[in-house]
Amino acid sequence: MRVLLLHPEDVPLQGECTGSRWDLIVDLGFAGASVYEEWSRRTGSRVITLHQFGSQESYRWVKQGLALGHGRLLDRMGLDWWEILAPCSYQEQQAVFLVEQLRRELGSGPVELVATRAHSHVQLLSLVTGWPVRCLVETPSTRPRLVSRLLAATQDLRPAQMIEIAFDKWDPSYHLRSRVTKHRRAQLKEPVMLLPSAYSNVTRTQLAYAAQLQDRRFLLATTRRSGESDDLPANVDSVPLSAYAEASAETKIETAELIAAWNAMEAELGQVEELHHRIQACLWDYIPSQLETGLRLRDAWRVLMSSEPVKGVLCGDDLNYHTRLPLIMAKTMGCRAVYCSHGALDGGLLFKKSYAELNLVKGEMERDYMLQVSDIEPERVEIAAPAEDREMERANAADIQSSAIVMFSQPYEVVGGRAGEIFREILPPLVAIARQLNRRLIVKLHPFESGRGRARLLRSVLSPEEFDHVEISRAPASEILPRTFLGIGLDSSVAVECAQREIPYFMCGWLDFNGFGYMRQFAKFGVGILLDTPDQILSIPHRLVEFKPDLSRIQRFSQPADDRRLDQLLFGTSEVLAANKCAS
């Protein structure tokens, strides 16, 4: 059996692989089924994607493996750094599961593996099967490839993004930034709820809760500039975490101790059958370097939570360990620990540990999903969405007349998606519909996408006339939604926002490869309209005629808590809230 492993940047119709016959072609990226049908027709080979093996079970498998290392890498505060750091590579760990499933697909007979070029999944498959893999194109030397990739990346970034990335890379524990931000400590007197954030979407959710309780004080503490906001409610102060970073000789000693403990632990885990391949694949080689960064971040959070009158922590992202740390530390420091996912659903619950004593969910749909995928007790889950801006829920008649068709884009490449093929399937028929309905077509970019990079890609899949009909926008969703006549995209939380505003939203179901089960949950609760194939995009005008918002369903997506109840949840009289200030 001859198997071709296709790099996400290659196609089977070009290069050295075109003159050979393959029994199976495995795409290490993903695209729609129609792409694979076309490739299969033209190559005479069966074509699949590795990502078709993804499922919720793949993440539960990750969780089972992670559980084998719990409680073995504790710092002096009792924090488990294996549990904090090991989940960060969940995508790479899931890839091991995908490769294991592919090995079963290939069977036990003789197999010849050929890759178009080197890729992490190629190395994993060779590791898991023990079979050699021949690459058609040799990997170029590291330095020129790295330089070219850096140059290409910088062309797509704004100066502010480049500066932020540089600080993240070369000043992760705030050695430099602390020197210029120490004067920005808040020095508050009144009890506050801490809002840790690294990204604008997280901040937006947290500030929505804060804005509802004008008589309470909140402290937004950002780990990077992209978490900051220029539109703070009057009852919210903002500080950079770097203002509380302090050098510590004891932390250096503790770091060395933990690295030594990790080295011993890694050797032991390598002997555990369930983790053997993951250790061999070096999936956790980042842990030693992250231990030093993590301990310094822990110290900065401890200084902040000890010197400011922090009463509780409201975390909106507990997968990013930079903002997860204060949630974990809250209980030991006498603070209330509350979690509110900034997205519609949180698939990370399939593999990460929950530290919050209370989880705020926006509605019945999110609560149902949380209880499905995690072991969180129902009594720790409370439906309490932030109060919505009623004026933004529905566009007025004048806005509807001038509104646009909006494709809500995502950085597909980050998770292996073939962005070119995805845009090629979606955009041309959308342009045709926009013309038919006399509407403008907007491609709304995700914060992680580059405007210049996406413009180049769109020009490659659209004719000049089609491209002229498209507007590329970096505006936040709050500005785009009032201009939206209909939306289309994957399983983004914007689907729920559209539903709440009675905007038709079409989900590209043929691209559902993330394994979290979001689209299934959305369909269960009537969020959006599922499209099974790209051909169905052209049926959108007909479906619009039949579209009728179901107000009873919409109410299940978001059920705001009244001010009094939200105040009890965040600033209640629990024993852990007896003190106005966290224990030092």
Sequential pLDDT tens for the chain (584 residues): 999 999 999 999 776 667 678 999 999 999 999 999 999 999 999 999 999 999 999 999 999 999 999 999 999 999 999 999 999 999 999 999 999 999 999 988 899 999 999 999 999 999 999 999 999 987 654 444 444 443 444 455 555 555 556 656 667 778 788 888 889 999 999 999 999 999 998 999 999 999 999 999 999 999 999 899 999 999 999 999 999 999 889 999 999 999 999 999 999 999 999 999 999 999 999 999 999 999 999 999 999 999 999 999 999 999 999 999 999 999 889 999 999 999 999 999 999 999 999 999 999 999 999 999 999 999 999 999 998 644 344 545 445 556 999 999 999 998 899 999 999 999 999 999 999 999 999 999 998 899 999 999 999 999 999 999 999 999 988 899 999 999 999 877 899 999 989 999 999 999 999 999 999 999 899 898 999 999 999 999 999 998 988 888 888 888 998 999 999 999 985 433 333 344 44
Q: Check if the beta carbon of residue 210 is closer than 8 Å to that of residue 218.
A: yes
Q: pLDDT digit string (tens) for 511-565?
A: 999 999 999 999 899 898 999 999 999 999 999 998 988 888 888 888 998 999 9
| pLDDT score, position 393 | 47
Nearest to 574 by CA among 307, 323, 331: 331
Residues 64, 70, 73, 78, CA torsion sign:
positive
Taking the CA of residue 411 as centre, how many other CA atoms within 13 Å lie in the half-sphere pointing to its CB?
A: 10
Alpha-carbon torsion 505, 511, 514, 520, what sign? positive
DSSP state of 537: G
Q: Cα torsion for 451, 456, 458, 462, to the nearest 10°?
A: 150
Helix axes 287-307, 249-269, angle to 10 degrees: 140
Give a three-class secondary structure readout of 344-377: CCCHHHHCCCCCCCEEEECCHHHHHHHHHHCCCC
> How many whole angstroms separate alpha carbon 465 and alpha carbon 17?
34
pLDDT at residue 389, rounded to an integer: 44
Residue 217 CB coordination number (10 Å): 20
- Could you give the CA distance from residue 511 to residue 507 in angstroms, rounded to a whole number? 9
pLDDT tens-digit series, residues 432-467: 999 999 999 999 999 889 999 999 999 999 999 999
What is the share, in percent, of the chain residues with pLDDT greater than 90?
Answer: 77
Contact 191, 309 (CB under 8 A): yes
CA angle, 142 as apex, 136 and 146 as ends, to 5°? 110
- Lay out the sheet containing 46-49: strands in order across: 46-49, 24-27, 2-6, 112-115, 133-135
Cα–Cα distance measured from residue 461 to residue 443, given in angstroms and rounded to the nearest whole number = 14
d(CA 182, CA 166): 20
Question: Residue 138 carries which DSSP code?
Answer: P
* Residue 254 near residue 79, CB atoms below 8 Å: no
What is the four-CA torsion angle of 14, 20, 21, 22, rounded to 10 degrees? -70
State the alpha helices, DSSP H only, in 437-484: 451-461, 464-467, 477-480
Distance between CA 457 and CA 443 in Å, rounded?
12
The residue among 317, 352, 361, 360 whose CA lies nearest residue 336 is 360
Report the pLDDT value the prediction gives residue 583, as an integer from 0 to 100: 41
Per-residue pLDDT at 579: 36
- Residue 32: name the closest of 309, 412, 352 by CA: 412
* Alpha carbons 207 and 237: distance in angstroms, whole number: 11
Amino acid at the residue 503? I
> Would you state the pLDDT for residue 154?
44
How far apart are alpha carbons 445 and 454 in whole angstroms? 8
Question: Nearest 5°: CA angle at 465, between 462 and 468?
Answer: 85
326: Cα within 13 Å, side-chain hemisphere: 34
| E strand spans, 83-181 | 112-115, 133-135
At what angle are helices 56-67 and 90-106 packed, to 10 degrees?
A: 120
